[in-house]
Amino acid sequence: MTAHSKATVPADIRHLPAAERSGHIGVVHLGLGAFHRAHQAVYLERFRQHSGDPQWGICSANLRSNHALVDQLRATDGRYHVAEYTDSSRVLVREVGTIEEVLFTGQDDSGIWGRDLDQLLHRLAHPDTRIVTLTVTEKGYFLNPADGALLTEHALIRHDMTHPEQPRTAPGLLVAALAARRAAGVAPFAVLSCDNMPANGERAQGAVVRLAAQTDPELAQWIEQQVAFPSSMVDRIVPAMTAADFERLSSLRLDDPSAVIGEAFAQWVIEDRFPAGRPQWESVGVEMVPDVAPFETMKLRMLNGSHSLLAYLGALHGVETVYDAVCQPGFRALLRHYMGAEAAPTLDVPAGVDLTHYCEDLLQRFANDSLQHRLHQIAMDGSQKLPQRWLYGALEQLAAGRSIRATALGVAAWMRYTRGTDLQGQPFAISDPMAETLQDLHRTHQDGPSLVRAFLALEAVVPPALARQEVFRAAVQQAFQDLETQSLDELLAAFL
């Protein structure tokens, strides 16, 4: 059963129109994807409606893919809809109008880069721009996933080192914009990463400062001292749109090619460090806190760690969506074990949070029958996701002599997944910046134990302190073998 096979027109449909355009831009966003449209833009829409404060319109840019979306949004003056589903019986259809300008600086169909680059650099350097938000995915920071070192050998980073005035990456754009502001005596904007990375503010700062240091050490020092990079924890499940999703929206009489579907739940916890000012986000439910780390780690290990478990194990067994997986008692038992016994004990619990409730709430959110969250989507970019979701937690579990059973199964399933075929032999494409390296390992290591060793030796992904642990290696190796010899029911029965 998939979620859409149950989809009916909800009994409870509410519509909310957008606020008037203000013509003011105070925020530049890099990474105009599904999540930005359903999270940061929605919070600013709600803030504008609530406060009437016109200052915080958004200029949103795509640096890499999807100029079709940019063109679509230009045609509607930036307006689009977000369908927020509680479940299949209840939806809020919200029109969003806070995106006042849309730009594209990537490579177009004819191979030409930087269509709107001058305009984006101008917008970033403008004194009215006080915050730059980012959702460029983990790989968009060009950092080594395990330790956060800048990938100075990456072709695009090399390009930005040699052509700093024509940047192609998010860190390159931020360096160019901050250099322009410094030269013009304009105070810097704050950089707010909204990607699922640990200490995402610090990681964003690391990328920008290290890139600047390659060409202009003084600028790098100025950025380090003058620019705020607050961290944030972002949460709302917003799957990539499918043809079935657009059909579903049509049945609500909503024909908007830029629309997105997400869950009704949303959370945003932000480190309160905005020297140039910020919207009164707390008036629309954003939690402004001095330290985001406990929220971030909790969300990455509990929610995202569970997602990745479902993704690799489920996709290998032909399960299509998160909903399809959590309908099975075995997967729910696996997640309860993983969250309760392997993730929760590693957490510094944020004030006011009960982890047992958090776990049950997550299971309920995953069981939202209106979301088509494909496991192959979550499985993308595993090399960038594993350290923060599982591997740092596993180190802590091992140090305390606690269980890593589910984590080892997840890691083994990730390794097997990157072969590019499921357990029935069905092929699929691997989308990961390290795909070539991973697939080379599959070609050169034919037997399980040597493949597992080779994967664990990937220092870019696996912290060496973890790779050295024999207990971990043995558990992953056993799980890798179990994947080939046991049925899904048998694997999951161990957690029931």
Where do contacts with ligand NAI occur on this chain (CB under 6 A)?
31-36, 62-66, 135-140, 169-170, 195-196, 234, 236-238
Please state the closest distance from residue 453 (CB atom) to ligand CS2, in A. 27
Q: How far is the CB of 37 from ligand NAI (least distance, A)?
A: 8
Least distance between ligand CS2 and beta carbon 245 (Å): 15
Q: Which does 195 bind (CB under 5 to 8 A by kind): ligand NAI, ligand CS2, none?
A: ligand NAI
Residue number with CB closer to ligand NAI (62 or 403): 62
Q: Is 242 exposed, middle or buried (0-12, 13-18, 19+ CB in 10 A)?
A: middle
Which of 98, 137, 196, 388 lies at the binding interface for ligand CS2 (CB under 6 A)?
A: 196
359 contacts ligand CS2 (rule: CB under 6 A) = no
Least Å distance between CB 402 and ligand NAI? 28
Q: Residue 101 to residues 58, 77, 79, 323, 494: CA-CA distances in angstroms?
A: 7, 8, 10, 35, 53
CB of 178 to ligand CS2, least distance (A): 28
Q: How far apart are the first and last CA of the chain?
A: 22
Residue 477 touching ligand CS2 (CB under 6 A):
no
Cα 280 from chain centroid?
24
When asked if residue 235 is in the footprint of ligand CS2 (CB under 6 A), the reply is yes
Token pair for 268: 């945003």
8-state DSSP, 263: E
Backbone φ and ψ of 8, nearest 5°? -130, 170
Least separation in angstroms between residue 85's CB and ligand NAI is 13
Q: How many chain residues are in contact with ligand CS2, going by CB under 6 A?
A: 10
Q: Is 304 in the site for ligand CS2 (CB under 6 A)?
A: yes
Q: Which residue has the tokens 């290290």?
A: 210
Q: Whole-angstrom Cα distance, residue 163 to residue 331? A: 49
Choosing from 7, 378, 394, 479, the residue that interacts with ligand CS2 (CB under 6 A) is 378
Alpha helices in 299-404 (DSSP H): 305-316, 322-326, 329-337, 355-366, 375-379, 382-386, 392-399
- What are the residues facing 87 on neighbouring strands? 90
Judged by beta carbon, residue 46 or residue 48, the one nearer ligand CS2 is 46
Query: Closest CB to ligand NAI among 141 and 417?
Result: 141
How far apart (Å, rounded) are the C-alpha atoms in residues 291 and 113?
Answer: 39
List interacting residues with ligand CS2 (CB under 6 A).
196, 235-237, 303-304, 307, 377-378, 385
